[in-house]
Structure 1
Amino acid sequence: MATAQGDTSARTSQTKRPRRARGPATPALSPAAAHDLDLLRQMLLIRRFEERCVELYSAAAIRGFVHLYIGEEAVAVGVHQTLSEQDAVVSTYREHGHALARGVPPEAVMAEMYGKATGCSHGRGGSMHLFDAGRRFYGGNAIVGGGLPLAAGLALADRMRGDSRVTCCFFGDGAFAEGEFHETANLAALWGLPVLFVCENNLYAMGTALAREHAQTDLAMRAASYGMAAWAVDGMDVHAVEKAARGAVESIRAGNGPHFLEMRTYRFRAHSMYDPDRYRPKDEIEEWKKHDPVTGLAEGMRKAGFLDTDAQEALGHEVMEAIDRAVRAAEQAPEEPTEDLLLHVTGRHEEVPS
């Protein structure tokens, strides 16, 4: 496992190191250790991917709006442990981490960031509109709260077909203030739809503190008023996230209607790359960084004897090589041909032959 030292932004050296002489065979990891290693690998991939996006955006290699997920990795990774390939996922415009956790290849995500034809949305969506129907990943949605009604529609379709599927809908505390949430929550509870509402409460929406926007800041309690099971979770602890999501998903599959999880988390970066981030104290950010989900899991693994320095270094190199491959592939990928610009466009006028 490579030099995955949590929030360290410095890029791991890409120079090749001499091979070490083989020692005794490494004992097989226990199921618990192997699972933790996989969680760490996924969170580290998201963290390093986002850090590379900062570099590429600063170099104008990628353009448009970019909303980083740094600090919130435990939510995406923990929740996805409990979902099957048949379940659907609806996301927000801060969705790079959700897409990667869902299994969308880094090459497809990075190519979309570059606006290339090999991107998961063929280069047409960019950072805010990642989409992969084959993996039932339905966006990426630039409208605050816009994914909520879509999630209800997907769940209703599954219910009408008799499919045993769950639709997981990620959204932020800002979307909780939108009418779409309350309308969707009401219908989902009324109709008993198989929806998992995952509210990523990072306390600031786009830039307004929770207490300045909501008279009652206990979002889980408010969601429960619609008659659905709801509770708050430490969103900086991937184990706590997975445990809560697993219980909720199992209950939904058992026919107990929608569930709501308020993931109490924090984004370490500004709302977007354009945001000067002047609305929150710097010491608050540093205090939250002490609860970094990546370093927290790595430290727990070291204490449990699941992770040593060599293994952590190996994991870090593995992740950085994967991101380097994604960047190279994106840089070499073709632009969409001009003649294809009207493909996938609904409602366009077709000339009727005379």
Structure 2
Amino acid sequence: MTHRTPPTGSPGVPEAAGHLLRQMLRVRRLEEQCVELYSAARIRGFLHVYIGEEAVAAGIMSALGPEDAVVATYREHGHALLRGVPAGAILAEMYGHVQGCCRGRGGSMHLFDAATHFYGGNAIVAGGLPLAVGMALAERMAGRARVTACFFGEGAAAEGEFHESLNLAALSRLPVLFCCENNLYAMGTALARSQSQTDLALKAAAYELPAWSVDGMDALAVEESARRAVDAVRAGGGPHFLELRTYRFRAHSMFDPERYRDKAEVARWTERDPILSLRRSLEATGRFSEDDWNALDREVAAEMEAAVRFAEAGAPEPLDDLQRFVYSER
């Protein structure tokens, strides 16, 4: 039965909050490192960072099992990291080094790692949705109780693949969790300027699948909703849709002059920083102190410093290997 009822009750501050805080901080520091390296021209190409949206990836990844699959967009560094791809392999990929998770061939927008069931990194808007539906169908046919989680932005709702994918998944009751990261802007276009119906959970519910909106700036709320949805999908409840209302604090990409939104709007959303909000909640319980925060920050900083060293110590793929994986070796 279709519904749009959000989870009830307050999740409070569970023991998992510390884990979520650590995961969000890892993503934030990785992205800040990417910005620094890009600004210094040590990595090139397109770069889209996830700063401000960390609660979404942290909450949903915490609800998934190790055998579940993840399909993401070009803003996927944080998803890859929290899925288990080492930070060093992610940065080495951006350096174009063979030590990267795709041997330096994919770059920032095409991270991929079969070992962690992380299947992109897709640069085409809505391009991951049909892929996720196909993967979910394969799991159904193989008789495996695995969930495929598909991340995409609200701009995907304007694409035909969005509607085709939700319709097919609902018709066949496929085990896929659609995760719409609604940060209000598809590149420089505000949602209200491109969609007559801006309630994307309502739009998804039209395809007769459970769909509801979640505060994407609250990691605890995201995890609670994600666990509810993942459990239902895994139990045979068919596809579910989460509209995660979030906000990116930085421009669409490093090339973006960001002339389409007001600075006061960005400042208002920045006040809801998901990392600072969860840190304050933990401190209010008396179970987390400034010393705990400083220790966590040092731990994460050391991880990122090691990742940079690993990436910079790598090397590009030899010229003789450039045709490998392009043509069959048989």
TM-score by length of 2: 0.95
2: CA distance between counterparts of 1:55 and 1:347? 39
* 2:287 is the alignment partner of 1:306: yes
Residues of 2 paired with 1:301 and 1:340: CA distance?
51
The residue number in structure 2 matching 1:171 is 152
SS of the aligned residue for 1:312 comes to helix
The answer to whether 1:242 aligns with 2:223 is yes
Aligned-partner Cα distance in 2 for 1:114–1:334: 9
Distance 1:171 1:310, change over 3 A: same
SS at match of 1:211: helix
Alignment of 1:115-264 (within 5 A): 115-264=96-245
TM-superposed CA distance for 1:32, in Å, is 3.5
Residue 5 of structure 1 is matched in structure 2 by: none
SS of equivalent residue, structure 1 residue 197? strand
In 1, the alpha carbon distance for the partners of 2:294 and 2:276 equals: 14
Q: How many residues align?
A: 318
Q: 1-side partners of 2:261 and 2:209: how far apart?
A: 33
Go from structure 1 to structure 2 and tell me whether the alpha carbon gap of 1:136 and 1:226 turns closer, same or farther (over 3 Å shift): same
Aligned-residue Cα RMSD (Å) equals 1.2
Counterpart among 66, 70, 84 of residue 47 in structure 2: 66
**Superposed counterparts of 1:336-351, under 5 Å:** 336-346=317-327
- SS of structure 1 residue aligned to 2:185: coil
Correspondence for 2:304 among 292, 307, 323: 323
Partners of 1:186 and 1:257 lie apart in 2 by 12
Runs of 4+ in 1 over 4 A off after TM superposition: none
Q: Please give the alpha-carbon distance, in whole angstroms, between the structure 1 residues aligned to 2:94 and 2:88.
A: 10
Letter matched to residue 182 of structure 1: H
Unaligned runs of 5+ in 2: 1-12
2:7 maps to which residue?
none
Q: How does 1:66-145 map to 2 (within 5 A)?
A: 66-145=47-126
Which digits, 9 at most, give the CA deviation of each residue in 1:257-284, with x for residues without a partner? Answer: 0000000000000000000011000000
* Structure 1 unaligned blocks of 5 or more: 1-30
Q: Relative to structure 1, is the Cα distance of residues 218 and 347 closer, same or farther in structure 2, using a 3 angstrom cutoff?
A: farther
Deviation at 1:39, TM superposition (A): 1.0
CA distance in 2, matches of 1:163, 1:345: 31
Q: Specify the alignment match of 1:288 in structure 2.
A: 269
Partner of 2:17: 36
Question: CA offset at residue 77 of structure 1?
Answer: 0.5
Q: Please give the secondary structure, in 1, of the residue aligned with 2:145.
A: coil
Deviation at 1:345, TM superposition (A): 1.4
Aligned to 1:14: none
Rounded to whole Å, the distance in 1 between the matches of 2:36 and 2:60 is 28
Counterparts of 1:259 and 1:346, CA distance in 2: 39
Partner deviation per Cα, 1:54-81 (whole Å, 9 max, x = no partner): 1100110000000000000000000011
* Structure showing greater Rg: 1
For 2:208 and 2:18, the matched residues in 1 are separated by: 37
Once residues 327 and 22 of structure 2 are traced to their aligned partners in structure 1, the CA distance between those partners, rounded to angstroms, is 39
**TM-score of the aligned structures, taking structure 1 as reference length:** 0.88
Question: Whole-Å Cα distance in 1 between the matches of residues 170 and 218 of structure 2?
Answer: 28
Deviations 1:226-262 (A, max 9, x none): 0100000000000000011100011111111000000
